[in-house]
Structures are given as C-alpha cells and as structure tokens.
C-alpha cells in the first residue's frame, strides 16, 4: 500500500478508466445547505493532483451556493466493475480564473453554449424555453469563440481524509484510510 493516497488513487483511477464502460470519472458530491440539509448529486471529475479533486458547475447552482455557505464536501467514486469505492472528504476552494478558462476551452462548443443558456437548478417552465435560450446563445456567438460565462467555474475538494474500499468475499471487505496531517498522511485500516 503506497504511503501517499494520491498515487493509489491514480492507480485505481487508471484501472477504472480501463474497466468501466461508462463514466469512470463519475463521482457523487455531497454538500450541506445553510439549514444543515445534506444534498448529493453526480458530477464528473475534471482534474486531480496533490492539491485535490476538481469539478465544474454553474456558480448559481444549488451545489455552488451550498459550497459558498459551507465550503466542505464529500466525494464518492464507485467503480462497480472493479468492486471498489473511494471516499474523499475535505475543504473546498474555487479554482483560479485561469484554470476555469483553460478547462472551459476544452469543452465542446455545444457544452460551452449550454453553460450560457442554462440557469442551472432554477425552475424551468418548459423544455421549449430552454431550447429557445440555447438557440439565442448559439446565434449570439455565431462565428466567434465562446468565452467562459462569469457564472461558471470550478471547485477543488482539498482532501483531509481519503478511504479506499475493496470488496472481499463474505463481506470481509478491505478498507484503507488516509488522514492528512502536517507534512504528510497517516495511513491505517478500518474494520469492514
């Protein structure tokens, strides 16, 4: 077992990319609202390194508002074909504008236009309204590069705790836990 959870994550993530048929980068993100109500949804991991795990969203979405009021989150990767999970908990910070711009530039044009057209998490009276907004945005940027909207960016979950769970026969699973400390990580095991 490596003494650095980021190297172990990279190994497991590479194996998931090879084994999972659909969205190995899919992760559940759990947040908490100002009223203490938890909320969880699936998003896609768009980057990870020693600094943390990055995803992008509309800054007016429910998750972004919850992260603004309570900047902590939990992530969960579940790779069913490998019978593995990775749980991550930590503080949350916004990515830099340069990081947001760089990632936005890699998105398909339709996804870029969709970021401008969507009022994510807010009520929508009909699909036709959204499609009309999308068409208006498409016309607005016809023949031009689509810049990152000011209401769209990313978040980095800076891990304080990372758990690796491996399925074993008879529910005798294997759980390895890493807890951040000054200058490194403490590593141990948990009962299944």
What mean pLDDT is predicted for residues 6-28? 95
Which residue shows structure tokens 């999308």?
134
Residue 137: how many other CB atoms lie within 10 Å:
19
Q: How many CA atoms lie within 13 A of 182 on its CB side?
A: 0
Domain ranges of the chain: 5-108+148-190
Residues 165-186 pLDDT 10s: 999 989 889 999 999 999 899 9
**154 by DSSP, 3-state: which?**
strand
CA distances from 92 to 66, 85, 164 (A): 11, 21, 20
Q: Which residues are catalytic?
A: 171
Architecture category of domain 5-108+148-190 in CATH: Roll (2.30)
Q: Give 38-72 pLDDT, tens digit per residue.
A: 999 999 999 999 999 999 999 999 999 999 999 99
Q: Spell out the residues 6+ positions from residue 116 whose beta carbon is closer than 8 angstroms to its own.
A: 137, 140, 141, 146, 149
Main-chain dihedrals φ then ψ at residue 146, nearest 5 degrees: -100, 115
């Amino acid at each position: 077992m490596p003494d650095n959870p980021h190297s172990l994550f990279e190994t497991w993530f590479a194996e998931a990319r090879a084994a999972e048929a659909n969205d190995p980068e899919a992760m559940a993100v759990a947040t908490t609202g100002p009223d203490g109500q938890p909320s969880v949804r699936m998003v896609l991991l768009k980057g990870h390194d020693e600094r943390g795990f990055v995803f992008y969203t509309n800054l007016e979405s429910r998750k972004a508002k919850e992260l603004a009021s309570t900047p902590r989150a939990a992530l969960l990767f579940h790779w069913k074909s490998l019978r593995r999970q990775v749980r991550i908990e930590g503080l949350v910070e916004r990515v830099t504008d340069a990081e947001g711009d760089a990632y936005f530039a890699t998105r398909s044009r339709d996804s870029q236009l969709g970021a401008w057209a969507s009022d994510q998490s807010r009520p929508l009276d009909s699909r036709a309204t959204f499609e009309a907004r999308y068409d208006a945005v498409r016309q607005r940027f016809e023949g031009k590069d689509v810049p990152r909207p000011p209401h769209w960016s990313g978040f980095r979950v800076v891990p304080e705790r990372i758990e690796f769970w491996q399925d074993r026969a008879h529910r005798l699973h294997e759980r390895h836990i890493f807890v951040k400390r000054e200058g490194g990580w403490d590593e141990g095991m948990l009962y299944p």
